[in-house]
Structure 1
Amino acid sequence: MISDTHRQNAAPGRREPSRRRKAAILATAVAGLALAIGGYFLLQPPPAPTVATTEVRIGDIEQTVVATGKIRPKELVSVGAQVSGQVRRIDVSLGQQVRAGQQIAEIDPRPQELALRDAQAAVETLRAQRAARAAVQEQAALAFERQRLMLAKGVTARVDYEAARASLTSLKSELRSFDAQIVQAQAQVDTARINLGYTRIVAPMDGVVVAVVTKQGQTVNALQDTPTIVMLARLDVMTIRAEISEADVEKIKPGQTVWFTTLGAPDQRRQARLDWIEPAPESIVADTDSTASAASASTPKAVYYNALFDVPNADGRLRPSMTAQVSVLLAQVHDALIIPVAALQRGDGPDRGKVRVLDAHGRPVERRIRTGASDDSNIVVLSGLRLGEKVVIAQAAPDTDGDSGANVGG
């Protein structure tokens, strides 16, 4: 009994150290786990920054020079009056198609008819006067012949012979003068006849009446300037005059492909070939007239050169003075690796650049690339990137309202 009781009293003493050891082991384990978790987070790299990216993709590039132009008729003629007078009638209307030689208007011909008759009468007067002097010359020739024969026989004085010869010579000169006056008067007749013809105004070419400037009954004065009756244009072929800035004019040349759209049909692209680049800007006349002092004091202005090309207009949809948005093709690339221009940082040369590319951990790293042709939005990548790689285009702000549609990496 004593032994059993002793063992029972000794058991709690042995269990107490065992509990302390278990508590120490547990505390050590918890501390080790805490250290491991803390070390894990401390050793982790910082999170990748939030950036907006886009993938390197396959696409087409059209590198162009963009300009604004005006559409004008291939041929535009101001049909005017070459004689003064009252416009008796206008024989065409706005928009009418006319043929070359067709009468457009008529100026009152009566003043010109009177001028023609007056000139013809002047010619007849001169011819009559010449005929009268020719008869006198014939008499003088006979008198001179008699004096010559009599002088040979010694029955007349030399002074009478010389007087007869002088009279004949004078009459011959008068006849030559009358001949010249008749030619001059005949020229006046021809001029009056031409002026009479000018009272009938005809179309110089086939075309469309695009403006009627003078009204019926209006009096025109052709002495000061040439008054315009109507404006006639050929609308089957139109000429586009595109204003090319001085920064781009060296990039273009005749023969390059061009296309344009109009404000009324922005989705319809019409194609042509560049025909001509004017050698000087239209402002050269004003620049020549201005003085050096005024030029130095004036604010510098942009300089533009006109580039011209023709386009057919069989449907008549192109109209004079329309605005054209013109693109001149410099380079064209198909099925090339492209990235947005916004992702490129310029490098050491014109075809060198730098981009930031996401690595395997989603972090942007800088990479040098070689580039080619570009347009307003994208640029060709010749080397340095692979299809599908993600390039950074912008640092993205934190998105608190949900997905906004941007491709955000990190």
Structure 2
Amino acid sequence: MKQWMRPGRLVLVVAGLAAAGVAVKMIWFSPLPPPQVTSAAVERGDLEVSVLATGTINAFKLVSVGARASGEVKRLAVALGDRVKEGQLIAEIDALTQRNELRDAEASLRSARALLTARRATLEQADLAAKRQRELASGDAGARADLETAEAALNTARADAESQQAIVAQARIKVDTARLNLGYAKVLAPMDGTVVAIVTEQGQTVNATQSAPTIIKLARLDTMTIKARISEADVPRVKIGMPVHFALLGEPDRRIRATLRAVEPGDTGLADAANVSGLSTSTVSGAANAIYYNGIFDVPNPDGTLRINMTAQTSIVLTQAKGVLSIPVAALGPREGKTDRYRVRVVGEDGQLEDREVRIGLNNRVRAQVLDGLEEGEKVVTSEAKPSAGASVADAMGFGDELRPSPLEN
């Protein structure tokens, strides 16, 4: 018993108990460390609320240039990518059949004209004979029967001449038609444009009996038309004349600006196969399929950067504010009733957090406009983590797992 009461050992026991007490206090009773937060600065810039839509770039005008004559394509005068002028030769089709038809029509016209000349000569002769019989009849020198015969012959000659004149007119029409068909053997450009597709190659035979076969596709590429698919939920907010900007998949940082020209009254499904009632398949299926409407706008394309069927990531600007203060939406705390005021947490110069009330304007769900309550450059909290003091100190000391009480023990 005296051995345990030696002063040296007593001092050791007291020192150990004191050290344990300090460790327990540090682990379970030390103040919480400052919260770990993520912050963002209040910035000044432009803010907009927009409707997002995916668009497809098309040529301002696209024409399928076809052949109205049947036969072999003897010559294709253009190549893919060529720029052509209105009236320029596109292709020539073997025109032997059309030439022969023109020759035959011209021969028929000459024959009809010759016969008309003979009919007119007969008419003139009958007219002279009738005049003589009238003179004789007026002097009682001729028989009545002879006068009647002469008048009948005159009427017959006049009818034959008129009939032959109509035949000449028909022959002339056939010549014009044959000459027109011969002209169809030369396919000409209907407008200025660029050859964007060659459908029929040189040497290929085309048949224009039922429909005009396409030789090439010609497009105006100096101006492009974009059709952006707008969801039915956003269409009521979109108005003609609103600003639009879009970016290409290959140039996501470049904004190309335009103005909304039109919104198609029917949904995009109207172009699809319709049922007997005339409604589109998307309309009939109802809510099962999403409904979209095309918003249309044009943009100049002088350098040819925009190409047919490119994808345009489009934003239709509903409203915008320039040079305003804004913060991330993630920084907004509770809203004050139905007002435009929110609570935010601001990081002070000393690192301490401060609750503050701010007034918010435009909100595009990414950033919100600050009308008052914050200054440019201040930092607001966007996310916050609060680790427990016991866990951090115990882990730092290396024996937190042994000293931390189990949840089942509480």
Which category of TM-score, normalised to the shorter sequence, fits these structures?
Answer: 0.7 to 0.9
TM-score computed with the length of structure 1 as normaliser: 0.75
Give the equivalent residue in structure 2 for 1:239: 225
Verify the 8 A CA contact 1:260 1:271 in the aligned structure 2.
yes
TM-score computed with the length of structure 2 as normaliser: 0.75
| Secondary structure of 1:275's aligned partner | strand
Q: Structure 1: any 5+ residue segments left out of the alignment? A: 1-37, 403-410
Superposition pairs of residues 7-406 of structure 1, within 5 angstroms: 54=39, 57-60=42-45, 61-286=47-272, 289-291=275-277, 296=284, 300-344=288-332, 352=340, 354-355=342-343, 357=345, 370-383=359-372, 393=382, 396=385, 398=387
Q: Which amino acid is 2:240 matched to?
A: P
Verify the 8 A CA contact 2:42 2:374 in the aligned structure 1.
no
Residues in 1 aligned to 2:196 and 2:89: alpha-carbon distance in whole angstroms: 16
Which range moves more in the overlay, 51-60 or 139-148?
A: 51-60
| Secondary structure of 2:174's aligned partner | helix
Cα deviation, 1:332-378, whole Å, max 9, x if unaligned, reads 223434332234466765x746445479997897x876532123411
Verify the 8 A CA contact 2:40 2:382 in the aligned structure 1.
no
| Secondary structure of 2:252's aligned partner | coil
Residues 106 and 135 from structure 1, CA distance in 2 versus in 1: closer, same or farther, beyond 3 angstroms?
same
| Secondary structure of 1:274's aligned partner | strand
- TM-fit CA distance, 1:297: 5.3
Q: How many residues align?
A: 359
Which range moves more in the overlay, 118-127 or 250-259?
A: 250-259
Residues in 1 aligned to 2:163 and 2:304: alpha-carbon distance in whole angstroms: 61
Verify the 8 A CA contact 1:251 1:330 in the aligned structure 2.
yes
Residues in 1 aligned to 2:289 and 2:371: alpha-carbon distance in whole angstroms: 38
Residues in 1 aligned to 2:137 and 2:258: alpha-carbon distance in whole angstroms: 92
Which range moves more in the overlay, 153-162 or 88-97?
A: 153-162
Q: Which amino acid is 2:188 matched to?
A: V
Verify the 8 A CA contact 2:43 2:377 in the aligned structure 1.
no
- TM-fit CA distance, 1:106: 0.3
Verify the 8 A CA contact 1:99 1:205 in the aligned structure 2.
yes
Verify the 8 A CA contact 2:274 2:280 in the aligned structure 1.
no
Q: Which amino acid is 1:221 matched to?
A: N
| Secondary structure of 2:251's aligned partner | coil
Residues 290 and 340 from structure 1, CA distance in 2 versus in 1: closer, same or farther, beyond 3 angstroms?
farther
Verify the 8 A CA contact 2:331 2:345 in the aligned structure 1.
no
Verify the 8 A CA contact 1:261 1:268 in the aligned structure 2.
yes
> Percent identical across equivalent pairs?
45
Note the aligned Cα RMSD (angstroms): 3.6
- TM-fit CA distance, 1:324: 0.9
Residues 388 and 234 from structure 1, CA distance in 2 versus in 1: closer, same or farther, beyond 3 angstroms?
closer
Q: Which amino acid is 2:305 matched to?
A: R
Residues in 2 aligned to 1:296 and 1:102: alpha-carbon distance in whole angstroms: 47
Residues in 1 aligned to 2:316 and 2:352: alpha-carbon distance in whole angstroms: 41
Verify the 8 A CA contact 1:214 1:230 in the aligned structure 2.
yes
- TM-fit CA distance, 1:268: 1.9
Residues in 1 aligned to 2:261 and 2:209: alpha-carbon distance in whole angstroms: 39
Give the equivalent residue in structure 1 for 2:10: none
Residues 142 and 97 from structure 1, CA distance in 2 versus in 1: closer, same or farther, beyond 3 angstroms?
same
Which range moves more in the overlay, 380-389 or 370-379?
A: 380-389
Residues in 2 aligned to 1:296 and 1:332: alpha-carbon distance in whole angstroms: 37
Q: Which amino acid is 2:321 matched to?
A: V
Residues 340 and 401 from structure 1, CA distance in 2 versus in 1: closer, same or farther, beyond 3 angstroms?
farther
| Secondary structure of 1:83's aligned partner | coil
Give the equivalent residue in structure 1 for 2:406: none
| Secondary structure of 1:129's aligned partner | helix
Residues in 2 aligned to 1:242 and 1:274: alpha-carbon distance in whole angstroms: 10
